[in-house]
Amino acid sequence: MNDIILLKLGELVLKGLNRHNFEEQLMQNARRRLQHCGGKFKVYTKQSITYVEPTEDSCDVDAAFEAMKKIFGAVGVCRSRACEKDKDAMLAAVREFLAPQLAAAKTFKVECKRSDKTFPLNSIQLAQYLGGELDEAYPHLTADMHHPDLTVYVEVRDDAAFVHGDVEPGAGGLPVGMGGRAVSLLSGGIDSPVASWMMAKRGLSLEMVHFFSYPYTSEEAKQKVLDLAGLLTPWTGRLVVHVVPFTAIQEELRRSCPEEYFTILMRRFMMRIAAQVANRVGAEALITGESLGQVASQTMEAMHCTGAVTDLPIFRPVVGMDKEEIVRISRKINTFETSILPYEDCCTVFTPKHPKLKPTLKQCEEAEAGLDVEGMVTAAVEGIERVRIGWGEA
């Protein structure tokens, strides 16, 4: 018999009647990821636990375990060993499967669950038997019912018994797709991959938009953004990156607008274009990696001016976070090393020497008055290149 993976479901079990949809979404997301883990897995949910069961020798359980730790909606993940429904087979499975944990712990307890009521011992009797045997077999271990170093879990189900040790933390959050769809503005920096990850964690499925200023920014800079999207896919699932040709807009702004407004106007164009992409793909919100006060275009007044070009809600999940906090998450989700690669960003190329810190909406509109805003947006949207990023393609 093979090892099986258990996902403990989090918040979503609180969702009352909607719970079934949450479980279905989580299982669907899990099944998609498992397609990349060798053979076929069976995925099903019972009593707030999703079971991921390998059905063929070709199943890569290690890879599946790593993949399941990145499924939003699960608060805990553990590997479990299946064995025969016989008390001594269970004892042998515990001793073999949990050998390193049993050696490291000083105190332990055994918790049993019996969903197969035909099994001759009840949960308490089984726990007493296994606890007694383990206590005897490992002189360094003492039973502790309240704060044990190690809890040995044994579950007797219809088809087999399962043993496992402590549960590792899962990704938390809500299953991707439950909250709808949003367009995330992905630059090559540290903040926007973190912002994207945070909103995917709240159950949004993402479409990425990247503004590309060739030849001011290089092919490598674009590839870096595609790599960042690839690094997010273990959490978000496959992604489409809409690469928007942005050079013409930037050149037009430089030609015909006051320099101090350059950044804020450019960001207004980004929002307009992202909103059009949202409209095309059926997304209902925009996401940015803006953090209050971090740079000139991220003052409250500037955010008011950029947000004013669209009716869509704009989610800025890192708005109240310090750089340190954002960096900590970016390290955790493995995007940091790629984010700090030194390629030019479309914003840094054209940065004005003295950007307007507190622009007003009226000033922005006046500065844009001579532009064919609609025509510029339409041309950019028509030039979009859609790049598909499969799961784990970094």
DSSP state of 383: T
For ligand ATP, the binding residues in 190-209 under the rule CB under 6 A are 190-192, 209
Residues 108, 153, 162, 211: which binds ligand ATP (CB under 6 A)?
Answer: 211
Assigned token pair, 178:
């439950």
For ligand ATP, the binding residues in 117-146 under the rule CB under 6 A are none
Of 152 and 226, the one with the shorter C-beta distance to ligand ATP is 226
Examine residue 290 and tell whether it contacts ligand ATP (CB under 6 A): yes
Quick one: which H or E segment has residue 230?
A: helix 219-236
Task: Tell me the CA distances in angstroms from 319 to 88, 295, 351, one per residue in order.
Answer: 56, 12, 21
Of 190 and 275, the one with the shorter C-beta distance to ligand ATP is 190
d(CA 174, CA 184): 18
Instruction: Give the residue among 233, 209, 215, 171 at the shortest CA–CA distance from 36.
Output: 233
Examine residue 187 and tell whether it contacts Mg ion (CB under 5 A): yes
Of 90 and 209, the one with the shorter C-beta distance to ligand ATP is 209
Q: Which stretch binds Mg ion (CB under 5 A): 91-99, 186-194, 226-234, 367-375?
A: 186-194
What, of ligand ATP, Mg ion, none, does residue 290 touch, CB below 5 to 8 Å by kind? ligand ATP
Examine residue 295 and tell whether it contacts ligand ATP (CB under 6 A): yes
Asked whether 5 and 52 are in contact (CB, 8 A), the reply is: yes
Examine residue 241 and tell whether it contacts ligand ATP (CB under 6 A): no
Find the DSSP H helices in 35-147: 61-68, 87-97, 99-104, 123-137
Examine residue 321 and tell whether it contacts ligand ATP (CB under 6 A): no
Examine residue 297 and tell whether it contacts ligand ATP (CB under 6 A): yes
d(CA 44, CA 55): 13
Q: Minimal distance in Å, beta carbon 380 to ligand ATP?
A: 12
Query: CB neighbours (10 Å) of residue 217?
Result: 23
Query: Where do we find the tokens 């190329």?
Result: 349
Examine residue 359 and tell whether it contacts ligand ATP (CB under 6 A): no
Assigned token pair, 239:
């992604």
Examine residue 187 and tell whether it contacts ligand ATP (CB under 6 A): yes
Residues 288, 299, 310, 335: which binds ligand ATP (CB under 6 A)?
Answer: 288
Q: Return contacts of 387-390, CB within 8 angstroms, 24+ apart.
A: 387/226, 387/240, 387/241, 387/243, 388/238, 388/239, 388/240, 389/226, 389/229, 389/230, 389/233, 389/238, 389/239, 389/240, 389/241, 390/233, 390/238
Examine residue 189 and tell whether it contacts Mg ion (CB under 5 A): yes
Assigned token pair, 22:
């949450």
Assigned token pair, 103:
């050696």
For Mg ion, the binding residues in 271-330 under the rule CB under 5 A are none
Chain mean position to CA 208: 14
Name the residue type at position 85.
Answer: K
d(CA 26, CA 48): 12
d(CA 221, CA 344): 7
Residue of this chain nearest to ligand ATP (CB atom): 189
Of 29 and 298, the one with the shorter C-beta distance to Mg ion is 298
What, of ligand ATP, Mg ion, none, does residue 289 touch, CB below 5 to 8 Å by kind? ligand ATP
Cis peptide before 215 (omega within 30 of 0): yes
Q: Minimal distance in Å, beta carbon 246 to Mg ion?
A: 13
Examine residue 227 and tell whether it contacts ligand ATP (CB under 6 A): no
- Alpha-carbon dihedral 255, 259, 262, 264, rounded to 10 degrees: -150
Residues 167, 347, 376, 389: which binds ligand ATP (CB under 6 A)?
Answer: 347
Residues 148, 165, 170, 189: which binds ligand ATP (CB under 6 A)?
Answer: 189
Of 323 and 388, the one with the shorter C-beta distance to ligand ATP is 323
Of 29 and 187, the one with the shorter C-beta distance to Mg ion is 187
Instruction: Please count the residues of this chain forming the interface with ligand ATP, following the rule CB under 6 A.
Output: 20
Interface residues with Mg ion (CB under 5 A) are 187, 189, 345
Site for ligand ATP, rule CB under 6 A? 185-187, 189-192, 209-211, 288-290, 294-295, 297-298, 345-347
